[in-house]
Amino acid sequence: MPLPPAQKSLLVSLSGPSSSGKTTLARLLRDLLPNTFILHEDDFYKPESLLPFRSGHRDWDCPEAIDLPALTNALTYIKSTGKFPPFINSKEDQNTLGACPASPSHINFAKAIIASSSLHSLLKHAKICILDGFLLYSQAEEFKPILELIDIKLFLLASEEKAVARRKARDGYVTLEGFWKDPEGYVEEVVWPNYVEQHGYLFVDGDVKRGRLDRKVLEREGILAMGGGHEDGHGHGDGEGFGEVLVWAVGEVVDRLEGVLGGEGGRRENEGE
């Protein structure tokens, strides 16, 4: 069925632990999918002086660090206009990501999925906004207005070892005040514990370290994730694993959008899945 007249864009959220490849994947999806742009949750950080402390560090990785009403306002604007909010000055795109980890063969495969779909015709009068953020699926009450606006929810995985190693390899982050570089111990004492606290409900027995996703919870929450957990080798943000995640994400987005926009029932239905 077509979108309601008041809705001019579809929101696709992309979340997961820090350094799981979210922003890299978001930029690839933007470049591959028609009529697509990105909104970064990181552009809604509060000023550093307002952030709480954890383990002696300013905590950039907790719900209190994000201006959630401003994010909700921006998403509402996007859904009603199909445009990037003119009141947002994005700093996230100033951060470096390094070389694209997806191989040409995976990128070509993703392009083929899109080319064989009906998205180009279905999106003549609508846009896709990819919401990229490390903390979108929290069960905190303040996140409900945001989750209600999202049409498709994707979740990436990464083991603690991989996420910590990749985060430590980063130069730092552009902020409202200038530039932030993680102090010693920040990832282990702040970033990962926050991730576990906010996302433990998505894993069997709340065991994030073991990494087995609770499929019943994902289905209940409407969250799509690849594989059974990070021990499958997916979602690590590098090498062939990342290429597989790209193809998976494109397939999910195309299938779900065709269903929402009134395509031919989505690829899975056509394939008898």
User: Model confidence over 104-113: pLDDT tens digits?
Assistant: 999 999 999 9
The more confidently predicted of residues 238 and 222 is 222
Residue 273, C-beta contacts closer than 8 angstroms, at least 6 positions apart:
none
Two tokens, residue 250: 């494109």
Q: What's the mean per-residue pLDDT of the chain?
A: 86
**Which amino acid type is present at position 18?**
S
In contact, 260 and 117? CB cutoff 8 Å: no
For the chain, the structural domain boundaries read: 9-92+104-260
pLDDT given at position 99: 72
Query: pLDDT tens across 117-156, in order?
Result: 998 888 877 899 999 999 999 999 999 999 999 999 999 9
Query: What mean pLDDT is predicted for residues 31-54?
Result: 94
What architecture (CATH level 2) is domain 9-92+104-260?
A: 3-Layer(aba) Sandwich (3.40)
Strands 127-133 and 36-40: parallel
**pLDDT surpassing 80 at residue 198:** yes
pLDDT given at position 92: 65
pLDDT given at position 235: 39
pTM for the structure as a whole: 0.88
In contact, 35 and 128? CB cutoff 8 Å: yes
SS3 assignment, position 30: helix
pLDDT given at position 256: 92
Q: Is 56 exposed, middle or buried (0-12, 13-18, 19+ CB in 10 A)?
A: exposed
Query: Cα(182)–Cα(71) distance, rounded to whole angstroms?
Result: 24
Which of 45-59, 93-107, 137-151, 199-213 is predicted least confidently? 93-107
Query: Cα(45)–Cα(51) distance, rounded to whole angstroms?
Result: 9
Residue 118, C-beta contacts closer than 8 angstroms, at least 6 positions apart:
258, 263, 264
In contact, 45 and 186? CB cutoff 8 Å: no
**pLDDT surpassing 90 at residue 30:** yes
Instruction: Quickly count helices (H) and strands (E) in the chain.
Output: 11, 9
Residue 216's pLDDT band (boundaries 50, 70, 90)?
very high
Residue 119, C-beta contacts closer than 8 angstroms, at least 6 positions apart:
33, 34, 254, 257, 258, 261, 263
Cα-based torsion angle of the residue sequence 102, 108, 113, 114 in order, rounded to the nearest 10 degrees: 90
Strands 57-58 and 179-180: unpaired
pLDDT given at position 51: 95
With pLDDT > 70 as the criterion, what percentage of the chain qualifies?
84
Which of 75-84, 85-94, 248-257 is predicted least confidently? 85-94
SS3 assignment, position 97: coil
Measured over the CA atoms of residue 222, residue 227, residue 230 and residue 236, the dihedral's sign is: negative
Residue 82, C-beta contacts closer than 8 angstroms, at least 6 positions apart:
8, 9, 126, 127
- For the annotated catalytic residues, the residue numbers are 42
pLDDT given at position 240: 46
